Amino acid sequence: MYARQLSNRTELQWVEINKHVKDALVLMDDAAAECLHWHGGLKKILDGGAISVESFSPFVVRMNSILVFICFSYPLH
């Protein structure tokens, strides 16, 4: 039961994220990319209107682009 609730909540987060990626360069960390892999894959973000999806890196330089950063963090216990 808990796994289904978590999956549904995560799916809703991706729906919300997709509202903000139209015409944007999306930069995401490894955790976000793995989560996306299990919830629709790269096609989901591209169908939301993203121009490009790349790994989050301080070396990415784009001028005159909308940037959307997707970073997932997990509590350290």
Q: What is the pLDDT of residues 4-36, one digit of tens each?
A: 776 788 888 888 999 999 999 899 988 899 989
Q: What is the pLDDT of residues 44-70, one digit of tens each?
A: 999 999 998 988 777 766 666 778 888
User: What span, in angstroms and rounded, lies between the C-alpha atoms of 54 and 1?
Assistant: 34
Paired tokens of 52: 């490009």
* Residue 11 pLDDT: 85
Position with higher pLDDT, 75 vs 17: 17
Give residue 51's identity as a one-letter amino acid code.
Answer: I
Residue spans of the domains in the chain: they are 1-70
Contact of 42 with 36, CB cutoff 8 Å: yes
